[in-house]
Each structure stands twice: as structure tokens, then as C-alpha cells.
Copies of this chain bind each other. A is one copy, B any other.
Amino acid sequence: MSTTLPTRPLDSAAARTVVAPVVPSRARLRPLGLDEVRITGGFWGERQRVNAAHTLSHILDRLESEGWLPNFDRAAAGTLPAGRRGREFSDSEVYKYLEAAAWELGRHDDEELERTFRAVVERVGAAQEIDGYLNTEFGRPGQQPRWSDLEWGHELYCLGHLFQAAVARERTRPGADDGLLLIARRAADLVCEVFGADGIPSFCGHPEIEAALAELARVTGDERYAAQAALFVARRGHDTLADIEWGRRYFQDDVPIRDATALSGHAVRANYLAAGAVDVAVETRDDDLLDALRAQWTRTRGRRTYITGGQGSHHQDEAFGDDWELPSDRAYSETCAGIASVMFSWRLLLSGGESAYADLIERTLFNVVATSPSADGRSFFYANTLHQRVPGVVPDPDATSPRASSSLRAPWFEVSCCPPNVARTLASLDAYIATADDRGIQIHQYAPAEIRTTLDDGRDVSLRVDTAYPSDGTVRVSVDRDADEPWTLSLRVPEWAEGAAIRVWSGGAVVETVSVAPGRADVTRAFRAGDVVELELPMAPRVVDPDPRIDAVRGCVAVERGPEVLALESTDLSGHGDVGEVALDRGSTPTEQDGRVWVDVARRAAHPGDWPYTQAVSGGLGETERVALVPYHDWGNRGPSTMRVWIPTA
């Protein structure tokens, strides 16, 4: 598939003012920012509320108590390295907090948060060196020299997150006098000087700065940053970084990006890099690179992605496995990899418009991003297993957990990338709901929302989305303004939604009913105020089989309902039995009752003997019971349990 993007660029002023994380200068779809789309409640609205009310302050408390924010004070005071705490990338968590807070301040005014934000920026700025360098781990007497450990040092990675924070601030508070954009630009200028065409011919072991520099170019109009991003992308894949136990694939330095066939290596790195490479391809009009990235996305989605949308099947190197290597029990499926996958998919969606990208975003949001935080927003899954065999241990609320060994949500981690990554994603989620193009509006994700924008021809459009999705499959989009000329409201029909229908109401009556197939359903009308387009998505539970090449889940099924993957949790079994001991009756149909999905499972008779590999094993089944499944994103919220997404069939 060759993709030719519209050649008419957004004018750079527009690129600077759209209040969204990603504003390409060329794209098939134009992003709608936080001032144009507002989630007003529902599944995601509640999570945004908790994020604003609890998660941001929880993160700030930990940044202080862990010493990661005070590291900047020590840097400013000139006392480092004495007393420095945290890992080499801890600066980045402060920047992600700033980004989250900036988006949140773009959603609503909050004087206290604004004061906090400015205070943190001031502490960060005070640590910046005269030439723009900013990092608390490197460069001082007693520390390693600057840029001396590109494989593991994360200096450029940290700056990438700083730039993204500055972009968020500039888009939500243009020209704010807090100085964050200036801090970012001074650091970015230094990066361009040090790593430019005549500089160090290398790049960061952990991608992140690529997409950040591209966006900083878009928000500032300074093309040097985009050129530096392109340089970083082009340098990768030529065995530049040192070899390591897991090979240079770990940091995507084994093969040039345009020659890769699927994402591989460390799953967060791979997705961050792919997102940045899309930005570079778009800005440099490199359609070959863009096509390569689309093909990689397709293969990765088809062969290296869990049913939850999760990616990364190795704990050891937090990496993708081979095609079809998707173990449930050792699924790493890091929360940050899910977020990074959304970033990659979103950029491809803007560039090409295909609904499959939005499908994967939905799946990942509901089943990875929503799974990580607890209901109170103060603890998180770092890894997202699909099969828990042994009940976890409740983490000490005051302790810091190793990153992935906790089998229940934990308040903080030694490597704590996931909590602030979730926070910045939720705080900017409104920007992933809808887009516009020269024909009209596209709605990609369903949530109660208000959408107001101006179409390319200058007409103002105002919509309201009412829905209890995903509890209910009805999505009502009300048009609030008359239009003289037709325009197109485009609604995504998810890949799982066979049998969906659209009803168009006008003047209080249904004027049109259409069956719609998965993909995109376009309604083109000269809409009148009060017109309603109603999408009816089939929400009956679905029993899903895996591709037979996925060895880990052979002979199992999963149950989904709408965009949610469901799970069997021991909490729901009689006697809190072990989910390893049951099988699902393949003949029975899941039913819905009391807002839950129920299936019939049978207890498996114990295996005879104590050597597990024998001829003629009796696979007898015992009593059957009806058990309720839990949405996967809610598992582990009722105390230690065992859990499985893929259920063996009898």
C-alpha cells in the first residue's frame, strides 16, 4: 500500500495552536484539541476525574518523597552527586508529571495546580546549566560525563519528555511566562548542536526524543528540531550502540527502521521510535518510510499483540517475542508499551485515516491503559499479565515495588514510568476522540462528549455525544447547528461490531436506518440542529478463538463484550477455587444478567499420578457451575486472586 498524503500542509500557525499532543503539518485527518473536544463523563470521564483529583497529587508526593524532584534542587545547589536518588531516568518522571499537569490545566482551570506546576518548572529550570544541558545524573564531577553512556544513560530520553511537557504547556497556555518552553528550547538547541550532522553520530538507547523533537518543531516552527529528529531516526539500525546480551535489537539498532518488518526488541522503545518515525516520515514526505511503518504496524498487530492490545511478551528484556510468541502467564504487556502503541497508532490514523488504527487504540485503551490504575488512582499495574496462577501479595502502600514483580497494583515502582505515563494519557485523552477533514468530522472513540470545531470551509460545527458505552452499545450524536450544505459525520464501527446499525433522526423521527459493517460509517447530510445520528453497536458477549499459531492459548477461548476483554477471576468462583482447575463448556452461550456476563465452567478432575506426561490421560470433568466474568481492566481490585483471560474449553 502506497500512501500519498495531502500535499496541502496545515499552516504552521494552526500547527501551533491545536491543543493536542500531536499536530502533524500534513495529515489526512486534522486532530481536534482539548478546546474542541471535551469528554463529559462516562467510563473515561470518571477516570479523568480520578486522575485529576488523586493521581496527579499522588505522583507529586512520590516524586518528592523518593527524592526524584529534590534531585533538581541538589543540582541547582551544586551539591550533586551527593544525595542523588533514583535511577538514571528519574528526571523523566518529573517531566511526565509536568506534561500531565499541563494537559490537565488545559482541561480546566485550577489555581493550586497552576501554582504547583510553576513551582516544579522553577525547580527544574534552576537545575539547567548555562549551555542548556539538563540532567541530574550526568556531567558533574563524580558523575559520568555527559553523553558517555548513550546505551543506558537516558539523557536524551529524559529531554524528550521535557520537550513533550513544554509542548503540552505551550499548546494549553500559549506564551505562558513560566519559562518551560524556553528551558526546553535551550536544551533542544544544545542537542541539535551536539548531535547534529557534524556532531556525535549516535542517538539514545531509549527512543522518545524523536517524536518530542518533531512536536517541538511543530509548536515552535523551528525546523532544526525536526531535522534532528530525522537524523536520529536515520542513524538507527547500523550497529552504532554497543552490543548487549539481548542484541542490538533491544534498542532497535539491529536493522534500519525502514527495513524492519515488525516491531521488535524492547516494546516501549520500539513503539516510541515508531511514533517518532511516523512524525519524521510525515514531515519529510518520506512515503517509503511511512509505508514501511504501516506494514510493521500490521504485522505487529497480527502476530505480536495480545488480545488486550498489550505488547511485549518477555519479562527479561521487556521485549517483543517472535511472531506468535504470546504467553498469557508471562505476558509482560507493560502499561507504557500500551501507551506507546496508542501513540504509534494515533499518528498512523491521522496520516492515513484507516479505522483499524482506531480499533487497536480502543482495544488498548480499554484493556491496557484502563487496567493499570486502581479505582482510586493511587496504585498501578506495571506489567499486565493475562494469567495469574498464584494469588498476589498486597504491596506495602508506603513501599516502592520492583517494576514488574508485583502481582497486584502497587503505588510506586523503582522504575516508575507507568504512573505518570497513565496520567499524561488520561489528561489528554479528549484529543484522541475525534478528528476533522475537509468533508466533516470523524468520531473514533465513544464517550459522552461535546465537540465543537470549525470545518475547513469555515462552518462551525457543534455536536454532543451521549452514550453509556461500553455498558451500553447505543451512541447518540446530536447536531447542535443547522448546516446549509451537506457535511459528513463519520463514525467508527469497531472490528468486532458485526451487525451494527445507524439510525438518523430528524425532526423527532427516524429518517434513515442503515446496517453498517465494521470500518467507517459515513452519514452525509445538510444536518439541522436537533438531528441525531444513533449508532447501535451489538454488545452481546462474544466467544473468541485464537489463531492456531498462538501456541500459548491453544484449546482456549476468550470472552469479549464490546471493546472489553473479560476475565475469569477466582474471586467469582465458588469457594474462590483455582482458575487453573476449570474448563469452559464450548457449547454453552455466555449470557448477561445483573450487568455481568456469565459462562458455564466445569471443574476438571485431578490428573492421576505424579508424572505429568503420560499416555492416555483421563481428562474427566466434574461439576459445572455458572460463573460471572469480570472486565479484564477491573481484575485484581478485590484482593489477591488467580485470573485468566484465556479459558480452556472442555
On A, residues with C-beta under 8 Å from B are 244-247, 298, 301-303, 305, 307, 314-316, 321-325, 327-330, 387, 389-390, 402-403, 405, 414, 495, 542-556, 558, 580-581, 583, 604, 607, 610-617, 619, 646, 648
Contacts and interface: CB of A to CB of B under 8 A. Distances in A.
A551 B323 CA distance: 19
A325 B545 contact: no
A178 to B, nearest CB: 37
23 contacts: A245-B403, A247-B405, A301-B611, A302-B611, A314-B330, A322-B390, A324-B580, A325-B389, A327-B552, A330-B330, A542-B615, A543-B615, A544-B615, A546-B612, A547-B612, A548-B583, A548-B607, A548-B617, A548-B619, A549-B612, A551-B552, A551-B553, A554-B555
A610 B387 contact: no
A263 to B, nearest CB: 15
A137 to B, nearest CB: 20
Given A315-B315, A323-B389, A325-B330, 6 more contacts: A246-B402, A246-B405, A327-B329, A330-B330, A387-B551, A549-B607
A365 B247 CA distance: 31
Nearest to A245: B402
Contact of A545 (B403, B581, B614): B614
Contacts of A555: 554-555
Nearest to A583: B548
Contacts of A247: 405
A611 B297 CA distance: 12
Contacts of A302: 610-612
Contacts of A323: 389-390
A404 B20 CA distance: 44
Given A552-B551, A648-B554, A613 B546 contact: yes
A572 to B, nearest CB: 20
Contact of A551 (B329, B403, B414, B548): B329
Stoichiometry (number of copies): 2
A302 B246 CA distance: 32
A74 to B, nearest CB: 26
A465 B327 CA distance: 46
Q: Which 10 A-B pairs have the closest CB atoms?
A: A547-B612, A555-B555, A245-B402, A316-B316, A302-B610, A554-B555, A545-B617, A315-B316, A322-B389, A307-B613
A545 B615 contact: yes
Nearest to A299: B610
Nearest to A648: B554
A390 B303 CA distance: 14
Which of A245, A604, A646 has the most chain B CB within a 10 Å cutoff? A245
B303 A612 contact: yes
A554 B604 CA distance: 14
Contacts of A543: 615
Given A246-B405, A551-B387, A614 B544 contact: yes
Nearest to A545: B617
Contacts of A314: 315-316, 330
B611 A495 contact: yes
A70 to B, nearest CB: 24
A153 to B, nearest CB: 20
B648 A607 contact: no
Nearest to A328: B551
Nearest to A393: B247
Contact of A617 (B405, B547, B607): B547
Contacts of A315: 314-316
Given A316-B315, A325-B329, A389-B323, A544 B613 contact: yes
Nearest to A327: B327
A152 B493 CA distance: 55
A329 to B, nearest CB: 5
A583 B554 CA distance: 12
B612 A550 contact: yes
Nearest to A616: B545
Contacts of A614: 544-545
A316 B313 CA distance: 12
Contact of A245 (B405, B544, B616): B405
Contacts of A321: 329-330
Contacts of A648: 548, 551, 554
Contacts of A246: 402, 405
A551 B578 CA distance: 14
Contacts of A546: 612-613, 617
B327 A610 contact: no
A558 to B, nearest CB: 7
Nearest to A617: B545
Nearest to A360: B611
Contacts of A558: 613
A303 B610 CA distance: 8
Nearest to A306: B613
A610 B548 CA distance: 13
Chain B CB within 10 Å — which of A324, A580, A581 has the most? Answer: A580
A78 to B, nearest CB: 30
A402 B247 CA distance: 9
Contacts of A390: 322-323
A554 B550 CA distance: 11
Contacts of A329: 321-322, 325, 327, 551-552
B547 A613 contact: yes
A15 to B, nearest CB: 33
Nearest to A308: B613
Given A245-B402, A322-B390, A330-B330, A613 B495 contact: no
Q: Which of A303, A322, A324, A611 has the most CB of B within 10 A?
A: A611
A255 to B, nearest CB: 14
A307 B613 CA distance: 7
A549 B389 CA distance: 11
